[in-house]
Amino acid sequence: MRLLQPTVPLLAVLPLVVACAVEPGEDNLKTSFVEQIEGVGSVDGLEREGDAIRFIERRADGDDVSWRVTIDFASIARPGGAPVQGAISASWYADGQLIEPIGTISRLPNAFLEAGIAQECYALWDENAAAWDW
């Protein structure tokens, strides 16, 4: 029985696989934040242009709310021995009106809060999934 030799040695391919691994960063943190918003069941027609996000929220009472969210800043912290931490600060406007938190109360609809997003929100980097967890 004759064994076939691969044309490309495995050791030559391994560095390419390692080099393609996703690393935590501000860009994929922002993208994950937008995906969290888009994952809310009442969100429709989400559009993103840079750090500006627009969408319609279809409420249970039949009313539609036009939302505009601006990512004000995103930051990454790499504490020794702990998961990488991401933070997003965003301004949320409902039908053109800024929704400001009162102390620690965000005043956003529960659907967004249940998805782990608000004006100030935090995520941890999941090394195994190579993704942000809100």
Which pLDDT score is estimated for 81?
Answer: 87
All residues at 6 or more sequence positions from 40 whose CB lies less than 8 Å from its CB, including other chains: 57, 111, 112, 115
For residue 81, the Cα-to-chain-centroid distance in whole angstroms is: 23
**Mean pLDDT score of the chain:** 90
Domain ranges across the chain: 22-133
What pLDDT, in 10s, does the model give residues 68-123? 999 999 999 999 989 999 999 999 999 999 999 999 899 999 999 999 999 999 99
Task: Taking residues 33-43, report their average pLDDT.
Answer: 98
